Amino acid sequence: MNNHFTITIHDDNGVKQFNLHKIIKKAVFYAVLFIGTIALFAVGTILYLDYEVDEIEIKHKGIQQAYLAQKEKNRLLDESIKETQIALDDKKNELLEISESLSEIETLIGLAPVAEMSLQDRVNLTKLSSEHMATLMQFVPSGSPIKYNGITSSFGYRIHPTLNSRELHRGIDMRASLDTPVYATGDGLVEWAGFHEKSGFGNLVILEHIYGFKSYFAHLNKVVIKSGSFVKKGDLIAYTGNSGMSSGPHLHYEIRFIQRPVDPMAFVKWSVENYNDIFEKEKQIPWQSLITATAHIKVPNPTQTLPSSQLALQSEER
């Protein structure tokens, strides 16, 4: 049995032959097969690792991009937080200013909020009082009784133009030509409408308003209402004149609170726009009591403050 094989090699030196056992052939074959398998496995492993490295690189880039995106979001969030904080600080300052302004209004109208009362409750309470504005101004004389054209004599002590003696002028003399329309400055009952000889007021209208207020309109030429009737704010009640102890056509206008004369000019200028001013100027009147008294009264169609009161305010500002 032939267990050998011959290998022939041709080169420049001639021909050489080698007789080898078949076991060596098998050994060489298996060695080559093993090395080939190892090489193939190595190539496969290298390719796989290369693929994995690429995948890891892709994932790394994705993570890097996600990190940068998150970093940008965090930056924007920080800016948003800063802006929100600034806005909150601004709102806090605004609320502080509102609270201070509200305190001034509360002081003016005599409100005394409880220490634990929230700002919203204080606003609601003040708003509730403001809603009574129209009601209070409907009942208490406000605005000018005639088209405002200035005054010739103010409230206070003066030399009487006809008696030539120093006396308390209990009202104001409003400049007006003959037969200028005169309007009621608040709802009221007509206490007097006609000639009043003893007072020297000549033709006189006295309106009795609720809560202790009265208004006087003197030296009239013609009275168009009757005693005992009821008038609403803005109703025509008379025309200006020169009756009684008067030196010329004008309107003598008075306001009294519980028979005590008060300066009518503050009431002539009183309107929604300067609603709180009256509380500061007329401190002798218990405004908070009046507000409390009218808290549950609603006037369906309140009369707007006469435009002439705004003319009075503008004239005073000049």
Of the candidates 264, 257, 288, 273, the one whose C-alpha atom is nearest the C-alpha of residue 108 is: 288
Specify the pTM: 0.58
The average confidence (pLDDT) of the chain is 82
Of the candidates 209, 303, 195, the one whose C-alpha atom is nearest the C-alpha of residue 256 is: 209
Q: What is the pLDDT of residue 44?
A: 86
Of the candidates 219, 178, 164, the one whose C-alpha atom is nearest the C-alpha of residue 196 is: 219
Tell me: the pLDDT tens digits for 15-66?
A: 776 666 667 767 777 888 888 888 888 888 888 888 888 888 898 888 989 8
Mean pLDDT (whole number) for 80-95:
88
- Domain boundary assignment for the chain: 134-317
Mean pLDDT (whole number) for 300-310:
61
200 — alpha (psi -120 to 50), left (phi > 0) or beta? left
Separation CA 221–CA 199 (nearest Å): 16
Question: Which of 6-20, 102-116, 143-157, 301-315 reaches the highest mean pLDDT?
Answer: 143-157
Domain 134-317 top-level CATH class = mainly beta
For 164, the token pair is 């030539």
The alpha carbon of residue 247 and the mean position of all alpha carbons in its chain are separated, in whole angstroms, by 51
Separation CA 302–CA 235 (nearest Å): 13
